[in-house]
Every structure is written in C-alpha cells, then in structure tokens.
Amino acid sequence: MYVNRRKEILNLLQKHGSVKVSELASQFGLNEATIRRDLKFLADRYGVELTYGGAFIDENAGSCSITEMNLAAKRRQAYEEKQMIARKAAELIKDGETIALNAGSTVEYILDYLPSLKQINLITLSLNVAVKAAALPFVTVYMPGGKLRQESTTFYGPDTEQYLRKFNVDKFFYGAAAVHIKHGVTHPVIEEAKANQILLDISKHCYLACDSSKFDGVSLVHIADLAAFHTMITDDKLPAHYKSFAKLNNMSIL
C-alpha cells in the first residue's frame, strides 16, 4: 500500500538523510516514476528536499515524529508539563457543556482536574478516557462504535465517523503528537485521522493541548492546519515563532 511505502521511505530519509530514486525503485520493485511521485508527496507534506535522482532531509527542518509511542511511554513523557496543561484545560469546562477529548495522554489528565460540576457530556474516541470518565458521577459519556486499535485504545472507522456526526460539541481538547507552522497538526496513525478531523468539524471551539516538545515536529498524517485551532494550551517553553503565529492568526495561548 502506498501509505506504508511512503512511511518506509520517510523512515529511510530520517535514518540516512538521503535516498536515491533508483535504489528505492529496486527495493520496492516499482518503476522510478512511482517513486518520484512518492518523493513529491513527501516534499509537499514533510519538507523533504528533492534533488536530481533522489531526495534528502534538511537538517534545519522540523523533525519527523512518525513512530507511535505506547501509552505508558506517552504518560511518562513531559509529565509535569502535561499536568499543568490539563489543569488549565479543566478550568475552561463549564456546567452543561458538551466536551470532546481525543486519545492523547495530555487530555486524559483533564479528568483529574475537573471542578465540581453538576453535569457535562463527554464524547471521546478513547476507551481509556471513557472508563476513567465513567467513574465521575456528573459526566455522561458518549463513545462511538467501530474498530478498536489496541495500541492506543482508540475507536476508528466508518461506524465511528457516522456516530460522531450526530453531535454538537462546545469544546474539543485535542492532544497532538506533532505541531508545525508549515505542516500543521499531524498524527502518526492514518486510521485515526478522519475521526479526529470530524471532531474538529463539529466543535465550536477547538483547543490544541500539548507540551512544547511537540512543536516543530512532523508526523505521518495531516490532521488540520494550525490555524484551525482557536486556542493553544501549552507550557511556558513555547517557541517564540508560535507566539508570533498565534498573534497573526487571532489565536489565544494559555
């Protein structure tokens, strides 16, 4: 499948810094025209530089974070920053609202800091988030059906997407894997992309909730342009050029 092939080529670029069209064609058993199309795609989406007969990655470009981390590793990474971001996000949630959380470890922590509320509705793609939220008496949990990815405990597929379109969401908190001014918000798992895009579409206010280590990174699949989010919730190490971008695009930073 071309998606997996392009992912492998991107991995090779990350590992070796450059690739040759002729060698890739031989490796994958394809003609050189097909490989050139793959490299053109990677150039358009990931900042890969094309050369005569091949391609390379500019060492000064944003990093490509295409490997999916397991849940335990996600929870350990930037733990203190994620707790701070979760506290900020929880303070934004009001009684009677319908909120949505994706499967990021950062947004899962929001449930630990919710204020004393009478009732809210929660839509989530994550089985782990749903189980945790179900223990809170004031939270009504809505979860789509579909196929479960065990690696992330996330539901995906046509049934998931159809179910999500029934809802109107007040606030969507999206925990991102990678954020880049040029390449936007990207995700390492193609199967999960569409459901996250639908949550963006059905939400009145979209919050990007991630620690500063995720910025200037690029992952496999484009979810949305950075300007699609209304607010960034992050730590105090946000790179200065993202502050400038937010100001130019009327985005808030918390």
User: Could you tell me the two tokens for 45?
Assistant: 């989406």
Could you read off the pLDDT of 136-169 as tens digits, one per residue? 999 999 999 899 998 888 999 999 999 999 999 9
d(CA 126, CA 128): 5
- Predicted local distance difference test score (pLDDT) of residue 11: 74
3-state secondary structure labels for all residues of the chain: CHHHHHHHHHHHHHHHCEEEHHHHHHHHCCCHHHHHHHHHHHHHHHCEEEECCEEEECCCCCEECCCCCCHHHHHHCCHHHHHHHHHHHHCCCCCCCEEEECCCHHHHHHHHHCCCCCCEEEEECEHHHHHHHHCCCCEEEECCCCEEECCCCEEECHHHHHHHCCCCEEEEEECCCEEECCCEEEECCHHHHHHHHHHHHCEEEEEEECCHHHECEECCEEEECHHHCCEEECCCCCCHHHHHHHHHCCCEEC
**In terms of Cα–Cα distance, which of 162, 218, 167, 172 is closest to 194?**
162
Could you read off the pLDDT of 83-137 as tens digits, one per residue? 999 999 999 999 999 999 998 889 999 999 998 899 999 999 999 999 999 999 9
The pTM of the whole model exceeds 0.75: no
- Predicted local distance difference test score (pLDDT) of residue 56: 84
Domains and CATH numbers, the chain: 2-61 (1.10.10.10), 71-253 (3.40.50.1360)
Could you read off the pLDDT of 38-88 as tens digits, one per residue? 998 888 776 678 888 999 876 555 454 444 555 555 556 668 999 999 999
- Predicted local distance difference test score (pLDDT) of residue 64: 47
Q: What is the mean pLDDT of the chain?
A: 88
